[in-house]
Each structure stands twice: as C-alpha cells, then as structure tokens.
C-alpha cells in the first residue's frame, strides 16, 4: 500500500499572525511544521519552543538544513518580496505569502521580474474564499440559481492593505476570477501609511471586468 507524502513546512516571521499559521498544522495530516526563522532571538526561541520546531536566524541556512517543501512568509510587507526572491533562489517548491505582498512601486517591479523567472509556486494568503459561508455563497452564485451576475458592491472597514485585498480577492472569486480590463481609482489620507498595514486612509475604485460585470 502506498503512503501519501507528508510535506515539510517552515515559517519566516514569528509574530502574532504567524501563530495562526502554525496552529493550522494541527488540522493538517499531510503537512508537518519543522522550523521557524526570525531575526529576534527571544521571539524565535519562544515560538520554536511553543510549537516544538527548530529555530533559525537565517532563512538560507534554514532552507539548506531543513529542505522544506513549503515556506510561509509572515513578516512585515516591506521585506516580503526580498524573501520571495531568496526562497525562489533556494529552490523551494512552494511559498505562501501574507498580504499585502508589498506596498512600494520598486517592490512591485521586482515582483514582476521574479514572476518571469521563478519556478516556485507562490500563493497569497487570501483565505476568505475558502471560509464555509463565503464558499457557499460562491457556489450558489456559480450555479446560476441566483441569476446572472451584473454588479459587485464591496466595502471594508480597514484600509486597502488591511482588508481591501481580501475584499478584492473575494470579489474576483465571485466573478470566476475574470480579469479586470478597466479601473478608475482614487485614494486620500496618509495617516495609516506608517501602520502595520501601510496604505491610504481611504480608497475607492470602479472596475470593469472582461465579462462585462462592473464592481
């Protein structure tokens, strides 16, 4: 009888959000969390002790020694693209990245360059579309029982980095991931640019999708 592979995973960034990533492995039979990495000695040691894994200060060293199949990036957004490059260069098969992937124009340019050459499969942690209530709504809409989708109207209580990317991703999922062909947007306010989720205080957008749906 053949046995299914158990995938080795590691986490980069040992802050509060990454705790939820680690706890999820209690529910996963084919995934094993083996290591963590953080520049803060006390934080990574405490995290490693809590989850019974090995701590590292250097990402490259961790990947070489542990040979993970999957790496989680749960760091502040200003270093995520750089880490994605390191993980790609190290030959890791897959990587899940917290949102937003990045906020600076230079990082977006580097991200586009990485996309052209990487063999690593990257996924952004937009989990709304997988939550039961949201998935049920998506299934009902896609069945056609609710009629034809014409317009999407979404809003969020936090800024575009905090909740906005979740809303955009879920809207895309309801529209069967149809690409946008035209976007009009506006933003105002800079008080939240130095927060954990840096972004304008307020953003608004009108979107036309390739299938004629407006949002």
Residue 50 has pLDDT above 90, yes or no: yes
- The C-alpha R_g of the chain, in whole angstroms, comes to 19
Mean pLDDT of 63-70: 98
Domain ranges of the chain: 7-124, 128-209
Mean pLDDT of 43-54: 98
pLDDT digits (tens, 9 = 90+) for 152-201: 999 988 999 889 999 999 999 999 999 999 999 999 999 998 888 888 99
**CA-CA distance, 32 to 156, in Å (whole number)?**
34
**CA-CA distance, 11 to 9, in Å (whole number)?**
7
Nearest to 13 by CA among 64, 69, 77: 77
Residue 97 has pLDDT above 70, yes or no: yes
Residue 33 has pLDDT above 90, yes or no: yes
Distances (CA, A) of 153 to 31, 100, 156, 209, 215: 37, 21, 11, 13, 6
**Which architecture, in CATH terms, is 7-124?**
3-Layer(aba) Sandwich (3.40)
Q: What pLDDT does 2 receive?
A: 53
Q: What pLDDT does 208 receive?
A: 97
**CA-CA distance, 174 to 27, in Å (whole number)?**
27
- For the chain, give the percent of residues with pLDDT over 90: 82
Q: What is the average pLDDT score of the chain?
A: 94
Q: In what order do the strands lie in the sheet with 70-73?
A: 54-56, 31-37, 7-12, 70-73, 94-97, 121-124
Contacts of 147 (CB under 8 A, 6+ apart): none
Mean pLDDT of 119-139: 92
| Torsion angle, alpha carbons of 35, 36, 40, 41, to 10 | -20
Residue 206 near residue 214 (C-beta atoms within 8 A):
yes
Mean pLDDT of 79-93: 97
**Residue whose structure tokens are 């990533």:** 21
Q: What pLDDT does 202 receive?
A: 94
Residue 77 near residue 83 (C-beta atoms within 8 A):
no
Q: Among 28-37, 51-60, 128-137, name the one with the lowest average pLDDT.
A: 128-137
Q: What pLDDT does 126 receive?
A: 93
């Amino acid at each position: 009888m053949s046995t299914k592979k158990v995938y080795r995973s590691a986490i980069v960034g040992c802050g509060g959000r990454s705790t939820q990533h680690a706890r999820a492995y209690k529910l996963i039979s084919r995934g094993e969390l083996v290591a963590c990495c953080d520049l803060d000695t006390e934080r990574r040691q405490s995290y490693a002790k809590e989850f019974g894994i090995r701590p590292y200060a250097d990402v490259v060293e961790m990947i070489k020694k542990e040979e993970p199949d999957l790496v989680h990036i749960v760091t502040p957004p200003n270093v995520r693209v750089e880490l994605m490059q390191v993980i790609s260069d190290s030959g890791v098969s897959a990587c899940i990245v917290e949102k937003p992937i990045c906020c600076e124009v230079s990082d977006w340019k580097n991200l586009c360059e990485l996309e052209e050459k990487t063999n690593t499969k990257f996924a952004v942690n937009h989990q709304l579309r997988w939550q039961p209530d949201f998935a049920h709504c998506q299934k009902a809409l896609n069945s056609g029982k609710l009629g034809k989708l014409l317009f999407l109207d979404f809003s969020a209580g936090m800024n575009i980095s905090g909740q906005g990317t979740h809303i955009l991703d879920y809207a895309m999922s309801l529209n069967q991931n149809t690409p946008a062909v035209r976007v009009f947007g506006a933003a105002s306010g800079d008080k939240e640019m130095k927060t954990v989720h840096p972004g304008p205080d307020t953003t608004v957008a009108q979107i036309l999708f390739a299938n004629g749906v407006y949002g």
